Structure 1
Amino acid sequence: MKKTNITILLIVGILVFANLVSEQYFFRLDLTEDNQYTLSEATEKIMESLEDPITVKAYFSENLPPHIAKTKNDFEEYLIEYARHSDDNLVYTFINPNESEDLEREAMEAGINPVMINVREKDQMKQQKAFLGAVFQLQDRKEIIPFMQPGAPMEYLLSSSIKKLAVTHKPEVGLMQGHGQPSIAELSQVKSALDVLYNFRAAQVNDSLPVPEGIKTLALVRPTDTIAEATLGQLDSFLENGGNLFVALNRVEGDLNSSYGSGISTGVEKWLGKKGLEIREDFVIDAQCATISVQQRQGFFNFTSNVAFPYAPIISKFADHPVTKGLEAVVMQFASSLNFTPKDSLTTFTPLAFSSETSARKQAPQFFDIQKEWTESDFTSAHQVIAGVLEQRHPNGNRSRIFVVADGDFPISAGQQPVQGDNVNLMVNAIDWLSDDTGLIELRTKGIHYRPIAKLEEGTKTTLKYANFLVPILLVLVYGIVRMQINKNKRIRRMEENYE
């Protein structure tokens, strides 16, 4: 009896000691794909740098379908990790707005918008109001995530919201104006994405006006007027002082009404050529391409049909780089190819985006044969370089980077038509990489992957079903065989001892 009491006391003591130690040396294992719940170095630095506490009110509904409820669980897992790295400067609470009308009103007044989702209950489908959002507050400043889209890059949204609260002065990114470039309104999707961490504003640059003070990165997008050498000299001075430049340039243009395309010149291509980077006066054509609407006539009737247009390549081959990480498809139109010839050891070029294996180049000018039947023999020059980064080391010791895309229109919205998501991501990622030294760019495309078994192929589902059934039985059998062998060996040893 005494021995039993001592054993119980030892076990209790060990548990208490382990509990105390775990509070000081707490750790969690992340066994998910791509370490989804392991915070990046950039996030850890942001949390460690917090000087004042941030409160998070997470408004998430309960009893949601599994694929939506997972978003709440993922959000909570992230907040646990954020709180651990914040030195008690992040406090969070979860609120279920569906519990009462007052909480529902509180959530909506805070900016959390409910969505209607379909829920199956007792073999019937019904609609339910669901809240999936959060409010971040630091003193009198607030940041809101009105709706957490399942599968969205959660760490990026959390870290950028916290950084936006914690950082009072955002770096400035300029959009160069004065030479026929688009306005910021025409880059509204890019601006919305950049405004999270930067102040994206128009910047007048000409012969007598240098790049404004405070701008770390300047974007030069689709100039249509000739840019004087003196103005380009202002860009050189900006680069020599450590600035960075994003360039999206048209070297050719096409008119679908006249089915004719020709080369254009603004002076920027000559300026880049002096640095060793040639934007060729050609059209990149690709069998992997977008479609265009074409009016056709059959008998007395006119109808519209979509036809493949190789002059609108879909770029899906990217180098492994923070700018292109996570990109799947960027749609270009009348893009040109890049070619780099080193001028000296101070300048390097890294190609980042390429056409597909079935692509080619056509020298401008060109007539577009919309009805042409394209064959493999038309695509003889694979993997044309469409975008890349030119890095320079200047005599004064400064370094600068120029990100170049040989299509000036890809990030610009045409009327009410939204820009392709990855078109926006390419420009935003590039500017983020040029401007940000925290590393948050690598989180922009880090999403939470949800893979329901219902979407698996039948063969895979059958394999998993039998594996779940048979593996535990197999483990029990193996354990039994091992135990039986151990006991058998013990009996043999005892018999040998008795025999001796």
Structure 2
Amino acid sequence: MNKNIKHIAFLIVGLIILNIANQSIYKRFDVTEDQRYTLSKTTKAIINNVNSNLFITVYLEGDFPSEFKRLQVEARQFIEELASENSLIKINFENPDDQREALIKRGMMPSQLTVEEDGKLSEAIIFPWAEISYGKKTTVVSLLPNAIMASQEAQLAKAIENLEYSFSNAINLVTQNKEKKIGIITGNGELEDIYQYSFLSEVAKKYRLAKFTLDSVATNPQQTLQDLSGLDLAIIAKPTEQFSENEKFVLDQFITNGGKTLWMIDNVQADQDSLFNGAKMLAYPRNLNLTDLFFSYGIRINTTLIKDLYAAKIPLATGESGNQTQFQNLDWYYHPLVGGNPNHPITKNISPVRLQFANQIDTLTNNIKKTPLLVSSVLTQKVGTPTFIELQSIADEVVENDYKSGNQLFALLLEGNFNSAYKNRIKPFETALYKENAIDNKMVVIADGDVGKNQILKGQPFDLARDKWTNEQFGNKDFLLNTVDYLLDDTGLMKLRNKSLTIKILDKQKAFKERTFWQFLNVILPLILLFGFGIVFNYLRKKKYSK
């Protein structure tokens, strides 16, 4: 009796100890093959900066397509992993059905999906968004990629791959105390504000923007350089006037002092609006006096135009019906539709980018690492300038043998130690900030000044991601936003965009065709086996006890 009491006492004490240990020790194990729930060092560093309550509200509750239940589960498991790393992260899943208007006003637009069930197609609307609040800051997170995918299943797979980057990027945004500063360079005929609004209004949500004119270089170049050096990134969008030696030296020294640069350069004077107005225009080289500057960085922007058979469309009047002019969208080979580098975080999973009268870039051998970002198809033709371009040429019959110039490079990432273009030259002016080279700097050069130019509709800027006439969707905005993020990324956050997972998706067509077999296997066969077992068991039992 005493022995039994001791055993019971030991059992009770053991259970109490296990319960205490369970409350104080918590450990999650990631047993997935691709370690999809294991947080990167970058993500851990970001969430460790959370020192007060951070609220994550996910609008993936309610009745929506079964395959998107997978996105709900994956999102829940991932943010639970965030919360397990930092207990100040609070999670809430909400049904958006009774607050749709409020969500749309906060920038969370619904997605319309095509759902296939029992071989029938139907439409469904979901809100694939999350909202993150930290103190007085709030931001939203899109849980579905904008890229054009081959199928809805592929879109879902990319959405799951992007979960860590999307949430880490948003948390980093709301927890940062110091915003990076970006200067929009003016003074050399760059794009007007209204034509950059679609792109820059998105940039302004994450960074501090300010216009910076180089006009003051003429009177006080030293002060201009000092002021410019206080910025983290300079954006030079489609300059049309020559840079003076003083202005070039200011930009050169901004770079050697660690400043990042995003160049959008047209080396040929050719504009779509001019062509529409006159049906014919002269395209000729534009001298920006930047050739030696780029040469020192190891690149050359040529003065040839590139025609590509894989191109965007433009609307042209093809006749009249009654009093109405009839328009048709036709391929315009001077507007290449180019793909992004699938292996770089700037361009991974973005839609094709539309360029307009673009030039191609040649690379030169030096110590700078050069990564192609935008490349044409192989079906290209080089057009030397000066040359006349006529709108009616769109009707010319295509001769494929004329389009065999191969892939052309349009955008390039340069990383490394940049030597000053004035290292062994007479300096235009003396400055205490002079440096011969930059250590571990970055820049992106795009050989098209219109890549970030949005259209105007009824006096208002139109979305850069779409064409107002054809309604085609492009990756221009995503490409430029990713470029800015990459150039200003000091934490390695952008590398999370290269995360790849193996997502196994159900083949719906095969499942529908074989549904009878699987229904039999899962429902009828177990009943038959159970019934057969009962008969055999009853027979053996009778046989045993009848003797």
Q: TM-score, normalised by structure 1?
A: 0.76
Say which SS state the counterpart of residue 24 (structure 1) adopts.
Answer: coil
AA at the equivalent of 1:350: T
Alpha-carbon distance in structure 2 between the residues aligned to 1:346 and 1:142: 42
Contact 2:185 2:212 in 1 (8 A): yes
Alpha-carbon distance in structure 1 between the residues aligned to 2:241 and 2:505: 53
Residue 436 (structure 1) shift: 0.9
Q: Check if 1:418 corresponds to 2:459.
A: no
User: In the superposition, relative to structure 1, how do residues 448 and 107 fare at CA in structure 2: closer, same or farther (>3 Å)?
Assistant: farther
Deviates more, 1:199-208 or 1:406-415: 199-208
Residue 81 (structure 1) shift: 1.2
Alpha-carbon distance in structure 1 between the residues aligned to 2:96 and 2:304: 58
Q: Deviations over 1:237-291 (max 9, x none)?
A: 1111111211110112334221542222222234313443111110111111112
Alpha-carbon distance in structure 2 between the residues aligned to 1:466 and 1:177: 69
Name the residue aligned to 2:79.
79
Deviates more, 1:303-312 or 1:437-446: 437-446
Name the residue aligned to 1:137.
133
Q: Deviations over 1:354-402 (max 9, x none)?
A: 1112112111123332221112201121111111123452455623222
Name the residue aligned to 2:440.
399
Alpha-carbon distance in structure 2 between the residues aligned to 1:183 and 1:138: 35
CA root-mean-square deviation = 4.5
Deviates more, 1:238-247 or 1:129-138: 129-138
Q: Deviations over 1:37-64 (max 9, x none)?
A: 4433322210123233323344554233
Say which SS state the counterpart of residue 239 (structure 1) adopts.
Answer: helix
Residue 184 (structure 1) shift: 4.3
Contact 2:255 2:438 in 1 (8 A): no
Name the residue aligned to 2:50.
50
Aligned mate of 2:406, from 356, 364, 382? 382
Q: Check if 1:276 corresponds to 2:298.
A: yes
Alpha-carbon distance in structure 2 between the residues aligned to 1:95 and 1:322: 31
Q: Deviations over 1:457-491 (max 9, x none)?
A: x46865798689879999xxxxxxxxxxxxxxxxx
Contact 1:260 1:365 in 2 (8 A): yes
User: In the superposition, relative to structure 1, how do residues 396 and 285 fare at CA in structure 2: closer, same or farther (>3 Å)?
Assistant: closer
Say which SS state the counterpart of residue 370 (structure 1) adopts.
Answer: helix
AA at the equivalent of 1:419: L
User: In the superposition, relative to structure 1, how do residues 406 and 129 fare at CA in structure 2: closer, same or farther (>3 Å)?
Assistant: closer
Say which SS state the counterpart of residue 39 (structure 1) adopts.
Answer: coil
Q: How does 1:363-374 map to 2 (within 5 A)?
A: 363-368=384-389, 369-374=393-398
Alpha-carbon distance in structure 2 between the residues aligned to 1:127 and 1:471: 29
Listed as ranges, the gaps of 5+ residues in structure 1 are 475-500
Say which SS state the counterpart of residue 74 (structure 2) adopts.
Answer: helix
Alpha-carbon distance in structure 1 between the residues aligned to 2:377 and 2:24: 53
Contact 1:61 1:130 in 2 (8 A): no
AA at the equivalent of 1:72: Q
Alpha-carbon distance in structure 2 between the residues aligned to 1:112 and 1:296: 39
Q: Check if 1:179 corresponds to 2:203.
A: no
Aligned mate of 2:372, from 351, 371, 374? 351
Say which SS state the counterpart of residue 307 (structure 1) adopts.
Answer: strand
Name the residue aligned to 1:490.
none
Alpha-carbon distance in structure 1 between the residues aligned to 2:165 and 2:94: 22
User: In the superposition, relative to structure 1, how do residues 447 and 296 fare at CA in structure 2: closer, same or farther (>3 Å)?
Assistant: farther
Aligned length: 457
Aligned mate of 1:217, from 204, 216, 233? 233
User: In the superposition, relative to structure 1, how do residues 109 and 427 fare at CA in structure 2: closer, same or farther (>3 Å)?
Assistant: closer
Q: Check if 1:261 corresponds to 2:302.
A: no
Listed as ranges, the gaps of 5+ residues in structure 2 are 146-155, 420-435, 466-473, 526-547
Q: Check if 1:290 corresponds to 2:331.
A: no
Deviates more, 1:329-338 or 1:43-52: 43-52
User: In the superposition, relative to structure 1, how do residues 38 and 274 fare at CA in structure 2: closer, same or farther (>3 Å)?
Assistant: same
Q: Deviations over 1:164-200 (max 9, x none)?
A: 2211111112211111112444323322443343223
Aligned mate of 1:243, from 256, 259, 265? 259
Residue 132 (structure 1) shift: 5.7
User: In the superposition, relative to structure 1, how do residues 288 and 18 fare at CA in structure 2: closer, same or farther (>3 Å)?
Assistant: farther
Residue 320 (structure 1) shift: 2.5
AA at the equivalent of 2:203: L
AA at the equivalent of 1:436: D
Q: Deviations over 1:342-362 (max 9, x none)?
A: 3xx444433332111211211
Alpha-carbon distance in structure 2 between the residues aligned to 1:127 and 1:287: 35
Contact 1:184 1:202 in 2 (8 A): no
Q: Check if 1:322 corresponds to 2:317.
A: no
Q: Deviations over 1:116-140 (max 9, x none)?
A: 98999xx9x999997665443333x
Name the residue aligned to 1:488.
none
Aligned mate of 2:482, from 429, 443, 446? 429
Contact 1:61 1:131 in 2 (8 A): no
Name the residue aligned to 1:483.
none
Alpha-carbon distance in structure 1 between the residues aligned to 2:199 and 2:387: 32
Aligned mate of 1:166, from 157, 166, 175? 175
User: In the superposition, relative to structure 1, how do residues 444 and 304 fare at CA in structure 2: closer, same or farther (>3 Å)?
Assistant: same
